[in-house]
Amino acid sequence: MTKRIVVALGGNAILTTDASAKAQQEALAKTAHYLADFIEAGHELIISHGNGPQVGNLLLQQQLGATEKNPAMPLDTAVAMTQGSIGYWLENALVDELKKRKISKPAATILTQVVVSETDPAFQAPSKPIGPFLSKAEMDAEKEQTQATYVEDAGRGYRKVVPSPTPVDIVEYAVIKQLVENGIVTIAGGGGGIPVVMKNGVYEGVEAVIDKDFASEKIAALVHADMLVILTGVDHVSINFNQPNQADLTKVTVTQMEEYIQQQQFAPGSMLPKVQAAIAFIKESKNGKAVITSLENIKNLLEEETGTIITA
């Protein structure tokens, strides 16, 4: 039976230790090999992806080359730029992989704006580090020019931090839905989406970074997906992680996962937001299913339903 599936792909699945375009394209070719299993199985596929390493590198490049006549672009524009570059590589990699399997199917990338609220508490407490590490002198000079917030990061220098607000809407969700309904593999929500707020009846970009998994959840709910698949580095979510009594979670309910959150079983900034996004999707979709697993486990997920599968 055909299912509409949103797959959230981490930015680190794209970038290896080599940040060149060629290396990232090669990494995406390997990623496309796994993702194509969803399409070969007859499912409708929407892919979102992270961009943390890529946007960080782009900001560093812009900072090094910025001049008064050629200033660096703002963060919302940098997110849009990486949506375009990663989408370009990923859609070509997918089409190439499908051709090898004798499947003719187009792919398209949608620049995706994600609406956030100006009153989101995150704007009063920036927490998401972006861009390069700076010395104290460099930080002081930057603060004089931009009034941005910086924090010391593990003895490695100072990094700019920006708000990470909760997504409330997806501007292009109807376009995404129409594309996937017409048989087009759709890449959307890259890097958590371009953060925008509504001002005087128009959308305006803001200096923020939206969590990729929460943006993916919002897309999945709005396009009425049957399943949200959040890919990470392990086949299963675990409780008592890295302890002698570690246990992998296979089929679990929202209630059980909420109890584990209360027990602080999942690390903030790591597994916790993935679990929270999965729960949010199930609650919004009413009858959807969420899966947290690895890229390499996709075939087992399709054939045997293995991974951490969360239902209402």
Task: For the chain, report the end-to-end CA distance as a whole number of angstroms.
Answer: 21
- Judge whether 300 counts as a catalytic residue: no
Closest Cα partner for 272 from 124, 11, 263?
A: 263
Catalytic residue, from 128, 160, 177, 289: name it: 128
Write down the catalytic residue from 160, 212, 218, 289: 212
Report d(CA 21, CA 216) in Å as an integer: 25
Under 8 Å between Cβ of 230 and 292: yes
Q: Assign 270 to helix, strand or coil.
A: coil
Return d(Cα 306, Cα 301) in angstroms, integer: 5
Q: Which entry of 11, 189, 191, 307 is annotated as an active-site residue?
A: 11
d(CA 285, CA 278): 11
Task: Decide if 274 is catalytic.
Answer: yes
* H/E run at residue 198: strand 194-199
Of 12, 183, 6, 4, the C-alpha closest to 98 is 183
* Annotated catalytic residue, options 160, 177, 274, 289: 274
Taking the C-alpha atoms of residue 253 and residue 311, their distance in angstroms, rounded to an integer, is 5
Q: Mark whether 12 is an active-site residue.
A: yes
The pair of structure tokens assigned to 158 is: 């100072």
Q: Are strands 289-294 and 308-311 parallel, antiparallel or unpaired?
A: antiparallel
Q: Do residues 228 and 216 touch, judged by C-beta distance below 8 A?
A: yes
The answer to whether residue 297 is catalytic is no
Give dist(CA 257, CA 308) in Å, integer: 11
Whether residue 289 lies in the annotated active site = no
Which residue do the tokens 């920036």 mark?
126
Please answer whether residues 115 and 169 qualify as being in contact, where contact means their C-beta atoms are separated by less than 8 angstroms: yes
Q: Write the DSSP string, 14-68.
A: T--S--SHHHHHHHHHHHHHHHHHHHHTT-EEEEEE--HHHHHHHHHHHHHH--S
Catalytic residues: 11-12, 128, 212, 274
